[in-house]
Amino acid sequence: MTERTALYAEHLAAGAKMVDFHGWDMPLHYGSQVEEHHVVRKVAGMFDVSHMTVVDIDGSEAGDWLRWLLANDVAKLERPGRALYSAMLNDEGGTLDDLIVYRRDGSWRLVVNSATREADLAWMGSKLRGDVTLTERPDLAMIAVQGPAAFLRAAAWLGDTAEAVQGLKPFGFLEHGDRFIARTGYTGEDGFEVILPAKAAAVAWQALLAADIAPAGLGARDTLRLEAGLNLYGQDMDETATPLESNLAWTVAWKPAERDFIGRGALTQQRERGVPRWLVGVKLEVRGVLRRGQQLYYDGRMVGELTSGAFSPTLGAGIGLARIAADVDAAELEVDMRGKALPVSRVKLPFVRRGERV
């Protein structure tokens, strides 16, 4: 039995094609995935991301606990109203999940992936220590508004907070009434994400729709995040890969040296030995679509495989993320596509930044 977000009826009314996404009925698209992609890149679109799991962290030792639980260091968040991105690791340095942690006034908030909800909650529960409490918030919904015109079109709905929200730096957030609004997203575009009571979600959705912000589904969300070079948990990273192997070394806070965090020992050993494989961007140099699982070759040797792949609407080409052996520094590789060796080029990520090819 799949679960439904508070916006399920809104999706049906908009003609969405619904699919089972990790146990949730979610919109794949509302007619054209490519059109939704372009709308977000050129104007503004919105996504129902209420399937994500919101967890509130309270207690006098919550900050210290999060410094131990996560690879990034929440001590960087010197004041409320700021957030950061981090991996949560197991003892071997494998990635259990990637998440955003927000520092509130006197407490903390995490947003974790829906696919890892049960495992994340079980893991965090097993690691509790000191004065720390976890509270899952299924009573909340979440909408992402993304695109270069996101703030212009959402201004009326944002009301008195419009100027303040637009003035936030990336990963800044504010709370106003029952709205929790953050300058975050998963598309590589400007915009914001709002967490609000599930009972208020449909009214908010309709107001944003009336402001000519188009709904977009999972399909466009995937091609947008791939163009932006953003990892998808379960494909580009998982328990078998460390952040150092997943293009996420920048999320590991090594300093201060005395801070211990789960997985630090394993990551330190890997860094000292040398990381055996990298996550890189690749672009297909002929017509075609790259897909997850396709193998990559260099000089006749299989050196890795695609973890994500799709056709890029912005570039008009096949693109992907691939994990390859670290001893391969060649710029040109080959992909095995149904028995044919086709040329691919390694590309510095992201493929697209703010609507423009990089």
User: Residues 221-260: pLDDT tens digits?
Assistant: 999 999 999 999 999 999 999 999 999 999 999 999 999 9
Nearest Cα neighbor of 30 from 46, 39, 17 is 17
Structure confidence at residue 165 (pLDDT): 97
What is the structure's pLDDT at 87? 98
Query: What's the distance, Cα to Cα, between the start and end of the chain in Å?
Result: 43
- Mean pLDDT (whole number) for 294-319: 98
Return the CATH number of the domain spanning residue range 276-357. Answer: 2.40.30.110
Q: Which residues pair with 127 in a beta bridge?
A: none
CA angle in degrees (0–180, nearest 5) for 272-276-278: 110
What percentage of the chain reaches a pLDDT higher than 90? 98
CA–CA dist 291, 319 (Å, integer) = 9
Report field, pTM of the whole predicted structure over 0.95: yes
Q: Which two tokens stand for residue 294?
A: 């396709």
> Are residues 213 and 227 in contact, defined by beta-carbon separation less than 8 angstroms?
no
- Measuring CA to CA, which residue among 143, 195, 173, 190 is closest to residue 83? 173
Nearest to 3 by CA among 25, 28, 18, 26: 25
- Quick one: pLDDT band at residue 355, thresholds 50, 70, 90? confident
Burial 131-167 (b: 16+ CB within 10 A, else e): ebebeeeeebbbbbbbbbbbbebbeebbeebeeebbe
Confidence of residue 1 (pLDDT cuts 50, 70, 90): confident
Residue 71: the pLDDT is 98
How far apart are alpha carbons 327 and 144 in whole angstroms?
A: 39
Structure tokens at 205: 């959705």
Distance of alpha carbon 54 from alpha carbon 12, whole angstroms: 25
Asked if residue 354 has pLDDT above 90, the reply is: no
Q: Letter for the amino acid at 87?
A: A
Bond into 256 cis (ω within 30): yes
